[in-house]
Structure 1
């Protein structure tokens, strides 16, 4: 039940159920009415505050916190799921607030749902089967990821928003609250709307993360060339962006993201030069 190689005390409330086989890291605390399944591994200095369920083939890193009624590891909400031994992997310093749900993978999606380090899942957030969430991400209250969604590092998913299955969210992107995201969102992009449209770049987020003025100008110029310029196909505009900015480190993720799956739809500005203006 506990990791005998570590000596710091583990506190387990008498009302909690920690099944035989579970591994709990040193210095962790399992609060009242929690349930931890037999195949769960939770890293050191973690806290399940109360009424938390962690089950299934689930591995969680150090300093994890889960608040009441969070449920990690129960079977996915996928009618194709047939009981396959899929899993969840969660990194270090992740917080799951009240009523958060995270489902394991499926055979059709690689058998794995993963969440990186330093991720905050706010009240009611849902990470569906086969999703992959990067590092330093934020899912605000009731944000929902459909199955197979990929969220890259430093992305923010706004409250009451929903991301359609299989969609990619690029690094440093910002999804506005109450948005319905049906197509891929470029790195640094800001999208909003009932059926989300690209509303420019997440310049505030870039400033907070220490991007230089020169890098932000380059990303803005590449964005305008790719989405706001007249004429040419997307492939032609992308080639022009790569020719001009391909050596700029900050622009490279934008180019690589669009090239990686060029046949996929991208979330685009609603009005060229209007709502999509990156200024």
Structure 2
């Protein structure tokens, strides 16, 4: 069981109007003391966090992956993008492109006209004789990419990626994942469909020097990814199905390997209630104002 040592407590526990609701909220959080959600939410409350690192997080808290899967189709706003009238606010945060073999260069050229896409779900189609080739020329400035490839791919993925999701239809389709990921020196989060994909990447740390989190989504009790990353991503937690989730009959819904607890909020999307957040923000602003008004 995780231990919480007496120490820092949330400043909200001294605010008359919310102290009781904050105490009840913290008590409820501690019922799930080994979860990433509790660890993060206590931190947001500026309350003492568990001494031990989390043992699990809920699948439904990994909303980042859902945003990619629910990306808006490019066809819905293609016209406005290429009429020269689009601005960054007109483009959704997550965009889906469907690309056939040989069309990736055309897509790159089109995006030069309106380079506002940041997070992309790319669905590709190719065959072993004609892999889909990613050129470096005109590579977009994407920060996030979910690659759902039906067939092999080659070349170089956009070099500024910070998050990459590898979700091939057939993992053994002939793609050299080590080759296409060369040069991704800014990548922080890597999500893979199953353990076998790491077999194509011989030295993950050398290839991805900025990597902070690896998420393996294979629904399996014993994940073999640990052996490949334990020396630089030493912390591990399992993903558990949330109530009502389609994986509810499974014990685990994946595994997460990470460098330290500072990076948990990059993959575990939870927030304290708005009322608590607003009051904390007001208190912090007041403290900052007092410090600025102090005499020299």
Structure with the bigger percentage of strand: 1
Q: TM-score range by the shorter chain?
A: under 0.3
Using structure 2 for the length normalisation, give the TM-score: 0.24
- Hey, which of these two has a bigger chunk of helix by percent? 2
TM-score, length basis structure 1: 0.25
